[in-house]
Every structure is written in C-alpha cells, then in structure tokens.
C-alpha cells in the first residue's frame, strides 16, 4: 500500500504545472502561501527565479561536467579539480579504472549522488554501480522544478578528492552572490561526522544566523588567506546571474572551483532568525519575466 501511495503521489505531482507544484511545496514547507506576484523574501524570490529566469547558461553551469569548460574559459584551467574520468557506463566504474589516490565519484546532473573513495579495495562496487545506475535514470528537475537540471545529459564523473593530511574533507567555501555581489559566505565542514556550517560576511565576521536552520554552527574557521581572490572569482562567475552560489575549495595553497548552485536548498531553506529571509531577499533585484 505504501509503494502504491508513493506512485500515486508521483503521478499527481507529474501532472502539475511548475507554478502549482512550487506553490504546494512552498506551503508545505513554510505553512504560508507563496507570493509570486510580488516576492519579498529570499526563498520567495528563489521560487520566482525557478520559473522566470531560465537561460542555456544556467543549464551549462548546473552540469558538473560541462561547467568545467565554462570555468576554463572564464577563470582558467588551473582552478579545476583534476578529472579522472567521465562516462555514461556504470561498468566503467571499477577499481582497475581508478587511481590509487582518494577520489570522489558523482553524477553531473543531480545533487547528493556521490561516493567518497579513500581505499578502492574496500568498496562494495556492485552496490555503488547499482546506485549510480539508478541515479542516471532520474531527471532531477522533477524534484524541485529547477529548470536548469531538466536537459542535462547524465554522466558519471570521477575527480580527485581534496582531503586534509588526517583524511578528513576540507572546508567548502560557498559564496552567496546577489546580482553579482558576494554578500554572505557559508563555510561547510565536518561533513563526515556532524555537518556544521558557519555563515560569514565578506569581511569574515561570523553572522548570528543559521541557513538552513537545521545545520548548526561549529567552531570558528580561520579566514582563508586567499579570501579576497575567492570573492573576486565568485563575483566574476556570478556576474551573468541575478542570484547564484559559487563554491570554492582552498587546498595546498590553491583555489579550486566546486560548483555553481542557483537555488540553494531548492528555495526551501528556513532562516534562523526568520527575519533574515526578508533581509537577504531585499538584496535581490529581480529581472523582467522571460
């Protein structure tokens, strides 16, 4: 019965227009109606942008494989994490095809499908390939009606894993850019234990906010010595967009590009305190409808 209920829900949601789908999802998350005629908060404006800010460049930048060429052209090849391989065939994902150093295996067309491989001899490769195969069949656009994912050709990509000497993953610096200007920096860390996130302003002052509110602050993170360079690079990439988040890593004294995200938490990330949703919403000047 549970499986049947899920199938019925998917069938019904598949019949909904993007606008109606977003209105229902927004109400379920925030317990209030979505204002698309005159959006005010950041989360409202992210929903508006899903519907009315759609360009081919959005799709290129959401594609974790194709975006590499964009980064090469705009910033330079030196900012790219080394690519081990890309393939559409899950049977290519074997220990023999992977290097002896740590890697991350992920898909290019969705969010959340990845595998951290520190020792390739101790993995359940059959299970990994099965999960990758399932992911390749999913159109991630359907999950949150984020249009930029709709027409991405699915691939599996393998990149070098950037890790500390003790084997832990390095900090992830996320630059929230509003009309091309970086205004807030999320720093994600401790992902292998209890995921923490600190939010800073561009002068590296810790902000007393949580976003999303489920991810708590952790210990203070020292200001990276290349912060100003990362801000400039993020703003250069963000100059084409009304809003986006640009992620970087700082590893062995070098800056590496992570990804570009257009609707963090799909526009459903609740702020604490709640009024910050309106504060950051006021920083976005929406374009005209396309």
CB 102 within 8 A of CB 163: yes
* pLDDT of res. 12: 58
Of 205, 169, 164, 188, nearest to 245 by C-alpha is 188
Looking at residue 34, its pLDDT comes to 99
Is the pLDDT score of 40 beyond 70?
A: yes
Segments making up each domain of the chain, as ranges: 18-52+165-290, 80-162
Q: 165 burial class (0-12, 13-18, 19+ CB within 10 angstroms)?
A: exposed
Q: Round the average pLDDT of the chain to a whole number and report it.
A: 95
List the structure tokens of 128: 């990994």
CA–CA distance, 46 with 36 (Å, rounded to integer)? 10
Q: Supply the pLDDT for residue 191.
A: 81
Helices (H), the chain: 2-14, 18-30, 42-52, 56-62, 67-74, 125-136, 141-144, 227-238, 276-281
Residue 246: CB partners within 8 Å, gap ≥ 6? 174, 175, 177, 233, 234, 237, 238, 257, 258, 260
Tokens (6 digits) for 48: 């508006």
pLDDT at 10: 62
- Whether residue 211 is predicted with pLDDT greater than 70 in this model: the reply is yes
CATH number at 18-52+165-290: 3.30.470.20
pLDDT digit string, tens, across residues 117-160: 999 999 999 999 999 999 999 999 999 999 999 999 999 999 99
Which pTM does this prediction carry? 0.94
């Amino acid at each position: 019965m549970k499986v049947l209920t899920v199938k019925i829900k998917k069938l019904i949601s598949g019949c909904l227009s993007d606008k109606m789908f977003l209105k229902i999802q927004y109400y379920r998350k925030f317990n209030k109606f979505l204002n698309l005629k005159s959006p005010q908060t950041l989360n409202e404006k992210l929903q508006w942008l899903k519907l009315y800010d759609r360009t081919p460049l959005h799709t290129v930048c959401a594609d974790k494989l194709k975006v590499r060429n964009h980064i090469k052209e705009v910033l330079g090849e030196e900012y790219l994490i080394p690519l081990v391989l890309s393939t559409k065939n899950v049977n290519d994902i074997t220990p023999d095809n992977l290097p002896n150093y740590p890697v991350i295996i992920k898909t290019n067309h969705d969010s959340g499908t990845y595998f951290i491989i520190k020792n390739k001899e101790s993995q359940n490769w059959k299970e990994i390939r099965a999960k990758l195969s399932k992911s390749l069949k999913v159109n991630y656009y359907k999950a949150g009606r984020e249009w930029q994912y709709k027409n991405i050709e699915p691939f599996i990509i393998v990149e070098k894993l950037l890790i500390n000497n003790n084997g832990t993953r390095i900090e992830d610096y996320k630059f929230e850019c509003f009309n091309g200007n970086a205004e807030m920096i999320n720093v994600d860390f401790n992902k292998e234990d209890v995921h923490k996130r600190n939010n800073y302003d561009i002068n590296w002052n810790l902000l007393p906010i949580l976003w999303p509110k489920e991810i708590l602050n952790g210990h203070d993170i020292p200001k990276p010595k290349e912060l100003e360079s990362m801000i400039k690079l993020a703003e250069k990439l963000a100059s084409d967009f009304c809003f986006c988040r640009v992620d970087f890593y700082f590893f062995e004294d070098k800056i590496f590009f992570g990804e570009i995200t257009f609707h963090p938490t799909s526009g459903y990330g609740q702020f604490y305190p709640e009024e910050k949703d309106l504060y950051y919403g006021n920083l976005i000047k929406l374009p005209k409808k396309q």
